[in-house]
């Protein structure tokens, strides 16, 4: 209130108020009427407590701004927490991906070693099978040569026997062969 009286006093002492002609405190002086209207306006404002209403509105607005700032700070902190959480999850996922890649490399190396071993074993089995086939073919060839030799030897022996043996000797051999077979069968 003290500032309003000081303001009114300053207005009364202002130089434009003295610029009008004639006595100042006359209703014919427009400067005096304007000053009275202004003072009446100020009085009405104070009577209806407009400055306190404006102050209250400004205080409410200040509180609203403060609550919005607090809410913004809380949202910022929450956003930082969420960001930190996502960064942590990203690091964990990156580490897990690196572990998976390392594990896959290890498994690939193990699979390559196992494939080499399997290939070596397969080659050994095939070599053994080839050796068996070669041995079998060799044995078969030897048997065929023996069979052929036996056939040739039998043919040669038959020729020799037929040329040297007489009919009586042949009959003796046949009878002894039948007797031998008969003895073995009974």
Q: What is the pLDDT of residues 27-55, one digit of tens each?
A: 788 888 999 999 999 999 889 888 889 99
Rounded Cα distance between 143 and 87, Å, is 82
Q: How confident is the model at residue 100, as a pLDDT?
A: 96
Q: How confident is the model at residue 171, as a pLDDT?
A: 81
Q: Please, what is the average pLDDT of the chain?
A: 85
Of all residues in the chain, the percent with pLDDT exceeding 70 is 88
pLDDT at residue 106 above 90? yes
8-state DSSP, 20: S
pLDDT at residue 17 above 50? no
């Amino acid at each position: 209130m003290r500032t309003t009286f000081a303001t009114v006093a300053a207005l009364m002492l202002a130089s434009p108020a003295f610029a009008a002609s004639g006595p100042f405190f006359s209703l014919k002086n427009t400067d005096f009427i304007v000053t009275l209207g202004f003072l009446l306006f100020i009085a009405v404002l104070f009577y209806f407590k407009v400055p306190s209403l404006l102050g209250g509105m400004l205080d409410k607005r200040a509180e609203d701004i403060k609550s919005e700032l607090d809410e913004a700070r809380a949202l910022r902190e929450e956003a930082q927490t969420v960001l930190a959480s996502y960064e942590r999850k990203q690091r964990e996922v990156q580490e897990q991906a690196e572990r998976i890649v390392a594990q896959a490399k290890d498994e690939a190396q193990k699979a390559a070693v196992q494939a080499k071993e399997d290939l070596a074993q397969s080659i050994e089995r095939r070599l053994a099978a080839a050796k068996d086939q070669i041995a079998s073919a060799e044995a078969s060839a030897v048997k065929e040569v023996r069979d052929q030799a036996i056939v040739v030897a039998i043919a040669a022996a038959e020729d020799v026997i037929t040329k040297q043996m007489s009919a009586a000797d042949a009959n003796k051999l046949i009878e002894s062969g039948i007797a031998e077979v008969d003895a073995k069968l009974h």
